[in-house]
């Protein structure tokens, strides 16, 4: 049986509206899924945001991306992308290079170390997705994806 949000968070009063319940349910679900994802990554010494950056930079290929392009592609916004990239560079996952003509432009690229880390994470991340969402049918997942896109339209 599916646990209702009110029961899960031990709320005794009804929600003020179905919109409030939907919002809180979405936030609660995101928190639960994100926590599980973070736990899966912990053994590898990276965060979900760092994993997201590695995937973004792998997709960018040899051209890499500037800090603002990385920021704009992140799933969850972070307050200081520069410090995030600093930590990732210190760990050897990314490399940054200042443009010779325009010193303000700094391109970030994934390193071999970062690519190897993504390769090592492929199976554990896939297994985590299976644990978290494997009980849902493909049709249910596609419906959820569609409804979440609809919800983001006015955000």
Complete domains list, the chain, with CATH: 46-152 (1.10.10.10)
Instruction: List, in sequence order, every beta strand (DSSP E) within the chain.
Output: 65-66, 94-98, 106-110
pLDDT tens for each residue of the chain, 155 residues long: 456 888 888 888 888 999 999 999 999 999 999 999 999 999 999 999 999 999 999 999 999 999 999 999 999 999 999 999 999 999 999 999 998 888 788 999 999 999 999 999 999 999 999 999 999 999 999 999 999 999 999 87
Buried b (16+ CB within 10 A) or exposed e, 58-78: eebeeebbebeebbeeeeeee
Give pTM, 2 decimals: 0.88
Q: How far apart are CA 142 and CA 26, in angstroms?
A: 16
């Amino acid at each position: 049986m599916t646990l209702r949000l009110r029961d899960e968070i031990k709320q005794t009063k009804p929600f003020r509206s179905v919109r409030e319940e939907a919002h809180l349910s979405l936030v609660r679900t995101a928190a639960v899924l994100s926590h599980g994802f973070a736990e899966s990554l912990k053994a590898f010494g990276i965060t979900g945001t760092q994993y997201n950056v590695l995937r973004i930079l792998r997709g960018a290929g040899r051209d890499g991306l500037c800090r603002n392009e990385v920021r704009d592609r992140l799933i969850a916004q972070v307050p200081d992308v520069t410090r995030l990239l600093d930590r990732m560079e210190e760990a050897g996952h990314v490399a940054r290079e200042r443009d010779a003509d325009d010193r303000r432009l700094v391109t970030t690229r994934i390193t071999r170390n970062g690519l190897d880390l993504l390769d090592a994470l492929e199976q554990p991340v896939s297994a985590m997705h299976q644990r978290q969402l494997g009980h849902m049918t493909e049709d249910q997942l596609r419906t959820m994806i569609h409804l979440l896109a609809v919800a983001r339209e006015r955000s």
